[in-house]
Amino acid sequence: MKTIVQIDDNYKNWLEELSDRFRSSQIKAAIRVNNEMLRFYWSLGRDISQMELSAKYGSGFYKKLSADLKDVLPGVRSFSETNLRYIVWFYELYSSNSQQAVVDLNTAEKQLPLVNDYVNESIFSIPWGHHVAIIGKCRSDQQKALFYVNKVIENNWSRAVLLNSLDTDLYDRQGKAVTNFEYTLPAVQSDLAQAITKDPYNFDFLTLTEKYNEKELKDALMDNITGFLLELGSGFSFVGREYRLMIGEKENFVDMLFFNINLRCYVVLEVKITEFEPSFAGQLGTYVVAVNHQLKEDWQNPAVGLLVCKSMDKIEAQYALESTSQPLGVSSYELSKLIPDSFKGSLPTIEELEAELNEGKTNK
């Protein structure tokens, strides 16, 4: 009996291993298929662009090509008029040649080689649907497009996350906080720390009344912690809100404490619903020092502080940060989804909603 049980266990483990291996091979195969498809799209876009086929055959070219490809490749759904245009834009966006060579169709038919462009290999590593979203927002800006391509690769972004980042103009906000990192951190860590900042932060995932106070903003951020972490960026792990620090004999409470895996350090975050004031930097710097003394471990880098205000005078903020030896950054935030303050009193409370739901269950 023991031998049979042992065989059964081995068989079960073998089946699990086979399942893992099969799924791994499926993923690798899907990546290879995607890579080859994108390379074909690149070559097709190159052919159309360099041969100037659209100009040669007029406005009906894409419609004709779509129909002809569907005839010779029945069942393939990749050659709609719209997708063919995106395929050409795909090539033209990422092509390194500022002036593309023009190839006569008659010459091409003799199978003379087309001009070979230098290709950034990263573009073949993300799904076509992601490319369509990027092209839609970045058709004339290769650097901006490659920024999003690399973000998708680095963070394994879904299309929904990518669309959110495109809609909120992450490219124009990334790394734009006013900081003193250049003077207070080693070069490599300084660059990494700057890269995790944004200005402004986009809080449009929140819904608040027009006359919201600071507590309401912080409550809303915590109630929407997933959206908040997504806006902060990759590598952030939430440690706590109103994190208690004893400084001397006084209790102090940090608005929010995070740990950033990429920086290997704590990030002390303070939120203000007013314009930046120099005194805010002094308070934040004190919290950063306290975190280094009380929480930081030997393998961790020194903590950094981030202050997010409703608005700021960037010159004043820069002067204030230059006056401290602690690594600090200052950003603003945007919040457009505000409802009239008069609605506040008419909205049901959580307790009222729960009572109504319970009453409904009782009456059934």
Residue spans of the domains in the chain: they are 2-170, 177-344
According to the model, what pLDDT value does residue 354 have? Answer: 61
pLDDT exceeds 50 at position 221 = yes
CATH of domain 177-344: 3.40.1350.10
Find, among 205, 192, 269, 284, the residue nearest to 237 by Cα. 269
According to the model, what pLDDT value does residue 325 have? Answer: 95
CA dihedral 95, 97, 99, 105 (to 10 degrees): -60
According to the model, what pLDDT value does residue 123 have? Answer: 93
According to the model, what pLDDT value does residue 341 have? Answer: 58
Q: CA geometry: angle at 102 spanning 98 and 104, to 5°?
A: 170
According to the model, what pLDDT value does residue 353 have? Answer: 57
According to the model, what pLDDT value does residue 364 have? Answer: 56
d(CA 207, CA 210) in angstroms, rounded, equals 10
pLDDT exceeds 60 at position 26 = yes
What SS3 state is found at 277? coil
According to the model, what pLDDT value does residue 99 have? Answer: 38
Which residue type occupies 201?
Answer: Y
According to the model, what pLDDT value does residue 264 have? Answer: 94
pLDDT exceeds 90 at position 206 = no
**Roughly what angle, to the nearest 10 degrees, separates helices 128-138 and 81-94?**
70
Q: Which of 10-24, 60-74, 290-304 has the highest mean pLDDT?
A: 290-304
In this prediction, residues 143-166 reach a mean pLDDT of 91
d(CA 315, CA 324) in angstroms, rounded, equals 15
According to the model, what pLDDT value does residue 349 have? Answer: 53
List all residues 6 or more positions away from 328 whose beta carbon is below 8 Å from its beta carbon.
179, 180, 184, 281, 284, 285, 288, 304, 305, 306, 307, 321
Q: Which residue has the higher pLDDT, 230 or 109?
A: 230
pLDDT exceeds 60 at position 150 = yes
pLDDT exceeds 90 at position 30 = no
List all residues 6 or more positions away from 34 whose beta carbon is below 8 Å from its beta carbon.
124, 127, 128
- 106 pLDDT band, cuts 50/70/90, is very low
Q: Which residue has the higher pLDDT, 173 or 6?
A: 173
**How many CA atoms, within 13 angstroms, populate the side-chain half-sphere of residue 217?**
24
For 269, the token pair is 């975050």
According to the model, what pLDDT value does residue 53 have? Answer: 79
Percent helix, strand and coil across the chain, each to the nearest 5:
55, 15, 30
Mean pLDDT score of the chain: 85
d(CA 361, CA 364) in angstroms, rounded, equals 5
List all residues 6 or more positions away from 114 whose beta carbon is below 8 Å from its beta carbon.
46, 47, 50, 101, 103, 108
According to the model, what pLDDT value does residue 245 have? Answer: 95
